[in-house]
Amino acid sequence: MTVRERLKLGDPRLRQRAAVVAAFELEEPAFLQLITDLIDTMRAAQGVGIAAPQIGVLKQVCAIEVNGNQRYPTFPEVPLRLLVNPTVVPLVESHDFLTENEAISIYEGCLSVPQLRGRVTRPRRVRVRALDEKGRDIDEVWEGPLAAIVQHELDHLHGILFVDRADSTTLAVPDEYERHVVVDERVVDGVRGSLSKAPRAS
């Protein structure tokens, strides 16, 4: 088991675009090691997702898994998924405004932004295309918290962090989050909202 050091907010590598993984790389020991390290690091840190740049590898690879997670206790279980070169397309009417029931609002956190949560509103239904760790095509529609997680991880691959998209007036440290953000507000699936724009990574 290899738990890698996690990059934290302020490390410029978190702000870079990750490179597309070439087909031949999927067979290489370095890729298999990357997958193992991502899974081990995510699980050790109680994450529901992790992207390769968070352990200092600028490749378009991420892992997602929800299994009785203490940081997001209301999330439905998601078996381990690995995504290589993912693209995510929101399934919404308009890309500028999310109508009733098109958005999900979650007080997100991040393994690279310790001690901070903030409310992020995202499309609640997305089409995900990627390769899995064996190079097989994935083309699926994901909804609810899983849709939010994959958008958070995809952002990492483009140098974007949740704090770029969060309503800055909702940012909270753990004690105050527990004290002031009632459970019903932590995950609200099926709301309306405007899509927050994030700055483009260089």
Which sequence positions are flagged as catalytic? 153
3-state DSSP assignment of residue 78: strand
Distance CA 38, CA 158 (A): 18
> Residue with CB nearest Zn ion?
110
Q: How many residues does the chain have?
A: 202
Piece in contact with Zn ion (CB under 5 A), picked from 27-35, 71-79, 102-110, 187-195: 102-110
Distance CA 2, CA 5 (A): 10
Cα distance between residue 141 and residue 129, in whole Å: 9
Site membership for Zn ion, residue 106 (CB under 5 A): no
Examine residue 110 and tell whether it contacts Zn ion (CB under 5 A).
yes
CB of 192 to Zn ion, least distance (A): 25
CB of 58 to Zn ion, least distance (A): 15
136 beta partners: none
Of the candidate spans 21-29, 68-76, 105-113, 177-185, the one that interacts with Zn ion by CB under 5 A turns out to be 105-113
Residues engaged in binding Zn ion (CB under 5 A): 110
